[in-house]
A and B are shown apart, each in its own frame.
Chain A
């Protein structure tokens, strides 16, 4: 990540710790979808639905590292705003009370993370990306497609959390350096 000429506010840097983890309820969420979604090697094709209209976390590493801070932060911001809406929808539609509670709790954490990224971008003088598309404009999907979408929301979320954790550590080091 390139060194920025603008020093971020210390408070924004403090927020770059990364406590979010899907691990506690990932297993129960996949079990809730039923087999084969909870099987280790199961990988349905990624749908191009509105809920998944987010930057892919699977961008090749060298390409990702080649991006500027602003671009990467913007992609983080975009990804988490889409994923937050998607996880909220997952929570709303779930019939399992415990899972619903876990998902809503996670949404609170995601919301905090989005706020931290926005604060950091503002501090660095970057423009915030425009809001994500409205989830209510989704086309009708069959139940299996919805499950696949839910599966991919969780998977993308997990990938973004891993990527962001590394990103923010690197960013923190460079900005402090």
Chain B
């Protein structure tokens, strides 16, 4: 299967990598967690995060106020590189977990567990298992889905679809859930649940994308905590978290000089900005560019890494051994490229026809009051967040880059913006970055440190975290848009 692009050496490398995984998984003894680095993230050197933290009193304030666990967890630590964003993040998360809402508290945490389980994110699961019990959840539920009320079980289908192929959600799914009966969901409850699901799917992306380490001091085990499985390959371990040591990946992607890579990117951005004034791509070209980008996203990542293996083989291997599976059904269901099912011809989601600002917000806020404002603020925040820097350069307008990242994620979920020239994506996002984006948003559990290291090597870690935030929010918005559109259709 020629997937185009990607040097053979890369393929070989990943092949090895996947083998490692298999070995790792077969031999269960190695599975005991062993954080790759100390500090909150396996990808980011501890000092980067800690340094930022000591300066920041604000973070502590925020944590004190909004953290449900009452402590500075690793996610918060990493996010605190962007305090402004952190605030809206924590505020909205706190709202959906703790404040007035249609769902009882234990339900909320259980839904979070279900969502995180779709991506085998043991970090989030453990966190919420604790909270679930703390808020008075019934311990029995933690034995698996068979033990929960039918009502929660019914959420499974939508959880599965949202996590992997949100475009398949139709109003029939919604109808099935809300139609009157013993285990029906009211619309506000459903919206609450959907917001939670989308939030935790996206957060799982962030956790894997930034290599969040398990919390250092696992409290007294309550029996339901999972043994943390690090999803990093053994060869990542060998990598020793040294950026300079990235010669391996460097040669993989054939980048000679990372410095020139940055310069080139800057150059391209500049050119694009200038060209924009004169160059006029024909309409046909514009639409083909979207299709092209969509198609191309097919070959990115999975092409080299996993598809050379029988797909299901790998997944089964991975999931069956994992404790996580008790929270999910149909574990083999995964992301499937939007573009690939040309035969079925799924209609592209036109962003202009159902936007967050106009439609999504109104619906969400109507059914689950105030969450709309919080999410709105969060989306705006992440989209507009900029320090006007790129690596060592200052005073750079990064709008273009941010928009490219955001729209590329939406493109993989089949959402198209009429007013966006998808040619820009190609110009601005290099292949290794695309690999990373696709992995993080579609199969976050497969993210490796190598992927994280291999793109934008001149950039600061905080900038990469920024990228992660963008990916996370873009993904959340995409999921929400599909789900809310289905609900709207159900209502009309």
A and B assemble together:
no
**Which residues of B approach A to under 8 Å, CB–CB?**
none
**Which residues of A approach B to under 8 Å, CB–CB?**
none
